Amino acid sequence: TQLLEQSPQFLSIQEGENLTVYCNSSSVFSSLQWYRQEPGEGPVLLVTVVTGGEVKKLKRLTFQFGDARKDSSLHITAAQTGDTGLYLCAGANRDDKIIFGKGTRLHILP
């Protein structure tokens, strides 16, 4: 069974700090998505990465897909309280099925 392991599970940091969260697997994915879910709402798609080594930037968020397409990272620069939420990664495997990680719950303190 393919798994996506996200780390850390929980992260609480001060506003203005930088952070990185990870999404790892032993399997190759044809694409990988990052979502953010806020309390009381559904997940919202942030980015899709497809090519090994690809880097995408969304304002203060930088997403990287590993060269072997087995892992990904999300780096947030100068975190803001509005970044608080559950960050989910999801990968499309060779059978084109999408699986989700358990998520990283991020809390930015004012």
Q: Which residues bind other proteins (CB under 8 A)?
A: 4, 33, 35, 40-45, 48, 88, 90, 92, 96-103
In the chain the first and final C-alpha atoms are separated, in Å, by 40
Pick the closer one to other proteins by CB: 49 or 79: 49
- Report residue 13 CA to chain centroid gap: 17
Q: How far is the CB of 93 from other proteins (least distance, A)?
A: 9
For the chain, what is the HEC assignment? CCCCEEECCEEEEECCCCEEEEEECCCCCCEEEEEEECCCCCCEEEEEECCCCCEEEECCEEEEECCCCCEEEEEECCCCHHHCEEEEEEEECCCCCEEECCCEEEEEEC
Nearest-approach distance from CB 98 to other proteins, in angstroms: 5
Closer residue to other proteins in complex, CB, 96/110 = 96
Shortest spacing between CB 7 and other proteins, in angstroms: 14
Judged by CB, which is closer to other proteins: 19, or 92? 92
Query: Considering beta carbons, is residue 88 or 106 the nearer one to other proteins?
Result: 88
Nearest approach, Cβ of 43 to other proteins (angstroms)?
A: 5
